């Protein structure tokens, strides 16, 4: 069961993020985010942390399962998350309720890279058979 925990956490977090994206696309307010709205640069910090957490969980859950060396797998997973994050941010131009922001995209990609690298280091440290 403990071995499945990273995958379960990743699935739960992706479900949460999917809900956030759908609600945002529909122009609905997300009550949870109101708690942080008075924090300076809340939007940019949120992009960095949320996309970073997605990257961390994806690298931690998926890279050890790939049939590649862990470093290469972590890089592939991080790049995949970065691509998906970029596509989601760019898709905002098609929704009247959303606004594309290059600064949001940059903060998201910085979070993906930072937390992806952090997870890769952790996975490498735990790897019993380094390749």
Q: Which tens digit of pLDDT belongs to each residue from 57-78?
A: 999 999 988 989 888 999 999 9
Buried b (16+ CB within 10 A) or exposed e, 49-80: ebbbbbbbbbbbbbbbeeeeebbebbbebbeb
Tally of domains in the chain: 1
Helix axes 42-62, 102-126, angle to 10 degrees: 30
Domain that holds residue 78: 2-126
For residue 131, is it within any domain? no
Q: Is residue 14 in a domain?
A: yes
Whether residue 45 lies inside any domain: the answer is yes
15-37 confidence digits (pLDDT tens)? 999 988 888 888 887 777 777 77
pTM to 2 decimal places? 0.87
């Amino acid at each position: 069961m403990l071995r499945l925990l990273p995958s379960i956490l990743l699935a739960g977090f992706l479900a949460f993020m999917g809900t956030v994206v759908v609600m945002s696309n529909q122009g609905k307010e997300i009550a949870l985010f109101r708690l942080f709205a008075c924090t300076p640069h809340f939007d940019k910090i949120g992009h960095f942390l949320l996309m970073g957490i997605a990257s961390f969980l994806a690298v931690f859950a998926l890279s050890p399962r790939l049939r590649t060396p862990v470093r290469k797998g972590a890089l592939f997973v991080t790049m995949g998350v970065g691509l998906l994050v970029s596509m989601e941010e760019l898709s905002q131009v098609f929704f009247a309720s959303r606004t594309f922001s290059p600064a949001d995209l940059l903060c998201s990609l910085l979070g993906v890279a930072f937390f992806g690298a952090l997870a890769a280091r952790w996975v490498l440290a735990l790897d019993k058979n380094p390749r």
